[in-house]
């Protein structure tokens, strides 16, 4: 039973890491697409815009400089936040959750 629970926790964290990593790459693709001015009616471009714009808009609200610079820093901020979340999840998994489960 204990081994089954440990495997469940590890798979759960692996799924979280994968989702966050894929979302980070989608944001990178969105930033690269903004340089080439793609067709806004392309279904892939619309999908990328639909899943990234809500998060990027929230990051734009946080930015203190707003529209005073020529380029958008919101993808960089979101990528750094995702990277920090992944790092904190890995730290919590290996230092707190798994040792607690193994000693129980």
Please compute Rg for the chain using Cα positions. Answer: 18
Q: Where are the domains of the chain?
A: 2-103
Per-residue pLDDT of the chain (104 residues; tens, 9 = 90+): 577 887 888 899 999 999 999 999 999 999 999 889 889 899 999 999 999 999 999 998 887 765 666 778 899 999 999 999 999 999 988 888 777 777 76
Q: What is the DSSP string of 2-32?
A: HHHHHHHHHHHHHHHHHHHHHHHHHHHHHHH
Rounded-to-integer distance, Cα 15 and Cα 69, Å: 37
What's residue 73's pLDDT? 86
Total-model pTM: 0.85
């Amino acid at each position: 039973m204990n081994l089954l629970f440990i495997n469940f926790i590890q798979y759960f964290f692996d799924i979280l890491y994968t989702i966050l990593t894929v979302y980070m790459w989608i944001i990178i693709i969105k930033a690269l697409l903004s340089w080439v001015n793609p067709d806004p009616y392309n279904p892939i471009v619309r999908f990328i815009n639909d899943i990234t714009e809500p998060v990027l808009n929230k990051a734009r609200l946080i930015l203190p400089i707003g529209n005073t610079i020529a380029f958008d820093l919101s993808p960089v901020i979101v990528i750094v936040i995702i990277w920090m979340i992944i790092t904190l999840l890995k730290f919590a998994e290996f230092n707190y959750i798994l040792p607690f489960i193994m000693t129980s």
